[in-house]
Amino acid sequence: MENARSTNTQTNQHTSELGCLTPELNSRIQQIFSGQAKTAIALRKSSTEERIAKLKRLRSVIMDHQQAIIDAAQKDFGRSPAEVEFTELMPVIMEISDHCKHLKKWLKPRRAKMSAMMFGSSSYTQYEARGRCLIIAPWNYPVTLCLGPLVPAIACGNTVIIKTSEMAPNFSKVLVSIVNSCFDENEVAIIEGDASVASALLDLPFDHMFFTGAPNIGKIVMSAAAKHLSSVTLELGGKSPIIIDETADLELAARTIAWGKYINNGQTCIAPDHIYVHQSVMQDFTHAITNAMNEWYGEGMAAKTSQLARIINRRHTERVNGLLQDAKEHGAKVVYGGAVDLDTNFISPTLLSDIPDHARVMQEEIFGPLLPLISYNALNEVINKINSQPKPLALYIWSRNKNNADRIIAETTAGGTCVNHIAAHFLDQNLPFGGVNNSGIGSYHGEWGIRAFAHERAIVRSHYMTAKMFFPPYTPRIRKILGLVLKYI
């Protein structure tokens, strides 16, 4: 991308402007949190029509900021407009539209069947707002992963404080403008700053905390939530593997993987982290994916002129380059790419082979444009390797053999899985999106977002008090009735 060097300098300057927690900012945070207490109580009684109206206004304001979002993506990442529209705007607009269409149905009380012990009563469940919520958004998809969870939070009738990432400062400024154009801060407030600001927010007794980011930070968020017994939704990450068996459509697999991996230059929580390829098709697959990468990006430094995003900052560029150099020192081969320009935060799309298991690139989440290729003979080898690692956020299978795909799904665990596709489970609003254990706790999207930001309250209305037959004193007659009940229920 043009002006990459000046872009990175500008980003670093903006990052320092966001800064750490000051006494004035801490006081403002406390004031906002206190002010949202009364609002949270009032919002419980808000109608679905009022909430839908807020979501429609949010959609309108987001679209008014479309060019500002595209410009911010260029400044922070060097991302192309089409990629931004596809990955930042479309998912949020889809989420808003889905909520506007289905919210009345989702929030409608649901009648429960009468159980044997509850004769003479009626029971139902209804969703109620959790109350004051915290959303800590990451830097890699600032709009999608900030405003995406905000949609169900508003739909459920909560108040929200959002913490943006200081690592994408231009995006952060646009998000501040969007939120402040839509909401009073007693309902939705947005705070900028570094980790010290996040720590101050985590000290507050929120009713629910929603965090998207790395597993190690997720543990900090969960520990903070435990102090107040706050509920949490943790959208984390991990090393998401791909399995390509000997029956796979290699051409389609190669092009889809090259697309899914190098969106945002690999800085995606559900991006393929490494690929297990059956040895009989390794050569053909490698040829197919390098052809796709040559067509779209170009090899090495030639990729700098393609529509390829930059790494977010110098520190992360050095981190990914460290993984690359460590792999090479341990005997890994660079099959494709491997170009690095630290001054412009550029690392080219890179394929690696012959990587030993103890290399850092096989131990740490890559979150960048490196893609290890690992040959295998038998499917059980791959399944055993996957099961020996923390549970991934995504697992991808490329196979035309249904039995193979079904076996992998049955014998592994992951937050979500795609067969013959990449990242599609994130875009399907009729599916929950979330991780499991190390890759996350809880899920959202569509109705699952309602479940994340609302409490499902159980309600019983008694019309005829059958329980009084079991009131003291506990006579032989009561014991006889209980005996009959135990026998026939």
Q: Report, as residue numbers or ranges, the catalytic residues.
A: 235
CB 129 within 8 A of CB 158: yes
Tell me how far CA of residue 426 lies from CA of 8, 91, 312, 446, 460, in angstroms.
30, 9, 22, 11, 37
Is the C-alpha dihedral spanning 91, 314, 258, 328 positive or negative?
negative
Instruction: Name the packing angle between helices 90-107 and 48-64 (round to 10°).
Output: 180
Q: DSSP assignment, residue 398?
A: E
Q: Which two tokens stand for residue 416?
A: 């979500």
Determine phi and psi for 418, rounding to 5 degrees.
-120, 135
Using CA atoms, how far apart are residues 376 and 242, in angstroms rounded to an integer? 12
For residue 328, give the amino acid letter: K
Q: What Cα–Cα distance (Å) separates residue 307 from each residue in 262, 290, 297? A: 10, 17, 7
Instruction: Give the CA distances from residue 317 to residues 22, 40, 223, 344, 425, in Å, rounded to whole numbers and listed in that order.
Output: 29, 42, 30, 9, 28
Task: Please classify residue 463 by burial: count the beta carbons closer than 10 Å to its beta carbon, then call 0-12 exposed, 13-18 middle and 19+ buried.
Answer: exposed
Report the distance separating Cα 296 and Cα 255, nearest Å.
10
Instruction: Count CB atoms within 10 A of the CB of residue 238.
Output: 25
CA-nearest of 334, 396, 399, 397 to 369 is 334
Continuous H helices in 305-439:
314-329, 379-387, 402-411, 424-427
* Alpha-carbon gap, residue 68 to 142, rounded angstroms: 13
Paired sense of beta strands 443-444 and 433-434, if any: antiparallel
Query: Rounded to the nearest 5°, which phi and psi values hold at 257?
Result: -70, -40
Return the H-helix or E-strand segment holding 136: strand 132-136
Name the residue type at position 124: Y
Return d(Cα 261, Cα 117) in angstroms, integer: 55
Rg (CA), the chain: 26
